[in-house]
Structure 1
């Protein structure tokens, strides 16, 4: 229920963010071009998930997951309050920055606590548990019905204020229901020693000083622009996970050979997930703009807000998540994680092929039926259920002993990479109306999915998934000897 309200605030605000940024100032927006607005939303989404890595580290080494989630929720609420204040772009970007920091603390750590609840369960049951958790997330994702309607019909800032109220409900829920966790996440798994704390503070200080120096240099050179900032953050979103994987695999962390092998497989799954999210999270940018400009949203003479189209995906999630959870339990180990990821990529790619047909039909200013978007979101939803909850589950299974909550942060880095790159390539979509853009993007995702299908058996053998899998807990240790596998 805490995650329901956090997602209520997140998806409600996101449903109107691109529209707000690209709306004319006289209409209550910031007046950005659609390309720049798409890049800002993409980078914002990316930074939300990039922040999951330091958020997981802070939980592991300083705060503990329980406290990290509470602090994160309060910071998120402050961010939405800042967005709700109609005082110019400064408050908008401050609000987005606060939401980024708060979600980085909340998102990986609440998911890792779910993993701890299943630490002695088999892989299929863990997958099913995360699917149910994922359905709860998507109850909150229905918030565009409220936030979107108020934001588009009354005032964007009123919509942001409602998102802040939703996060307040989340804080109250978390505090009131915390006893049900039975002590899970109460303390950091590997607290910092005094020497490590000193080194960490020095590293943070050096990073802040470097950032300040970049700003001081970029200002006089005239390159301190919004577009330049989005490009810089996109590069950062790609470089950080590359360095982190090099750190994990190349450093001396006492990893066993099995843990290293599993991490190499995880890298390939990570890249596949990044491609999926590059397609999927354009719902907040190109698909929302397409809904607003090229889709007939009239129902019985009443025009629904274009932000409501973002409710199609969570409705499908709520309908299909229990079925997919039951399917994973029924199939057991007969369908491995790489195959599930490959199916997700192919479906995501085909959804953009459908969008290419819809954009072709909308050429010349025509408006197409909303059923095109319904079909697109149906394919993306089935793909999401094959990849996202399963990705959460496989992360908790493959996490090395030395990296608990941090590995959940690494999983969210895949979303960060996909969203940041997707936000930049969305500039080529001509405001969401280019058939060629959708076609080539979709074909790329399908190709990656087919390649993953080919290598799936080999990856599964390395993972020791299936008959050889011992189903590990979040700390990375194997199932105790003598415990039944099913």
Structure 2
């Protein structure tokens, strides 16, 4: 039954947009009302700190989720997907010649690059867990980690901007997209686990479940925004392929430059606000870092 409902929503983007706007507005109004009428000073400030962080997560996920839209199309239409290519002479006793020239080429489909995020998470999650503990008192606070996440996701698009500019008239090398997924995954590890913990620690006990719902509502909103942003690079295709490589590259360059500046800009803004947010957290940040 839910599949039927979801299918109808997929067909009606305007309905989804209106539902997200209404749900977001109601949630925000309720948070402000609850903070003012039901909470003391400390709990109210903690709730406001969490709300600010949630707003910035919308920006992060809107950029990060380009993986399923613009990044995937970019890999298919404008990128040389060859990852490894090497050749060697092979001893083959069943051949007329003992030395046979053999060439290996690894060229995954565009969608297979999405698996890089999962691979990097498995590899880097233990590293980040160890790093936060190892840093001890120098472990950055939650707001700073969020700002790092935004800057890293912005730098990921900067990698593609550099790759496009260096590609000349040909396709863009696959290594630039690999670097993008590496930087995006590092950003995700700075934000996602820390953010979920912040929701449970900063929310008043009676509305922890509600605030967790707001967290995922923000994620849903960012998914919708991600689709809108991807339209900046929309191009006419024939049978799913871009007829003009350079036109495709320029379209994606425009989008990736915009996302690069967005990530870096909001990352620095949050970094500037981080002392204020830390103060509003009233000591909870020490618990999150321990």
TM-score interval w.r.t. the shorter chain? 0.7 to 0.9
Is residue 320 of structure 1 aligned with residue 124 of structure 2? yes
Deviations 1:337-394 (Å, cap 9, x if unpaired)?
0000000001111111222233445575x32221011111111111110001111111
Greater C-alpha Rg: 2
Secondary structure at the residue paired with 2:225?
A: helix
TM-score (norm 1): 0.48
Q: What does residue 295 of structure 1 align with?
A: 79
The answer (yes or no) to whether the contact 1:356–1:437 under 8 Å persists in 2 is no
Among 102, 123, 143, the alignment partner of 1:338 is 143
Among 423, 426, 430, the alignment partner of 2:234 is 430
Q: What does residue 234 of structure 1 align with?
A: 17
Return closer, same or farther for 1:454/1:302 CA change in 2, 3 Å cut-off.
closer
Is residue 309 of structure 1 aligned with residue 113 of structure 2? yes
Q: Quick one: distance in 2 between partners of 1:395 and 1:283?
A: 25
Q: CA deviation at 1:333?
A: 5.3
Q: How does 1:410-421 map to 2 (within 5 A)?
A: 410-421=214-225
Is residue 453 of structure 1 aligned with residue 271 of structure 2? yes
Q: What does residue 358 of structure 1 align with?
A: 163
Return closer, same or farther for 1:330/1:281 CA change in 2, 3 Å cut-off.
same
Q: CA deviation at 1:240?
A: 1.8
Deviations 1:209-228 (Å, cap 9, x if unpaired)?
xxxxxxxxxxxxxxxx95xx
Q: CA deviation at 1:449?
A: 0.7
The answer (yes or no) to whether the contact 2:50–2:203 under 8 Å persists in 1 is no
Secondary structure at the residue paired with 1:464?
A: coil
Q: How does 1:179-328 map to 2 (within 5 A)?
A: 226=11, 229-251=12-34, 254-298=38-82, 299=84, 300-328=104-132
The answer (yes or no) to whether the contact 2:149–2:188 under 8 Å persists in 1 is yes
Return closer, same or farther for 1:421/1:246 CA change in 2, 3 Å cut-off.
same
Question: Whose strand fraction is larger, Structure 1's or Structure 2's?
Answer: 2
The answer (yes or no) to whether the contact 2:199–2:208 under 8 Å persists in 1 is no
Among 276, 280, 287, the alignment partner of 1:462 is 280
Among 212, 223, 241, the alignment partner of 1:408 is 212
Secondary structure at the residue paired with 2:39?
A: coil
Q: How does 1:6-405 map to 2 (within 5 A)?
A: 79=3, 94=4, 96-97=6-7, 226=11, 229-251=12-34, 254-298=38-82, 299=84, 300-332=104-136, 334=138, 335-361=140-166, 366-405=170-209
Deviations 1:104-129 (Å, cap 9, x if unpaired)?
xxxxxxxxxxxxxxxxxxxxxxxxxx
The answer (yes or no) to whether the contact 1:269–1:338 under 8 Å persists in 2 is yes
Q: Which runs of 5+ in 1 are unaligned?
A: 1-74, 80-93, 101-224, 473-484
The answer (yes or no) to whether the contact 1:297–1:303 under 8 Å persists in 2 is yes
Q: CA deviation at 1:416?
A: 1.6
Q: Quick one: distance in 1 between partners of 2:106 and 2:127?
A: 33
Q: Quick one: distance in 1 between partners of 2:123 and 2:107?
A: 25
Deviations 1:43-64 (Å, cap 9, x if unpaired)?
xxxxxxxxxxxxxxxxxxxxxx
**Cα RMSD (Å) of the superposition?**
2.8
Number of positions where the alignment pairs a residue of Structure 1 with one of Structure 2:
254
Q: CA deviation at 1:282?
A: 0.6
Secondary structure at the residue paired with 1:301?
A: strand
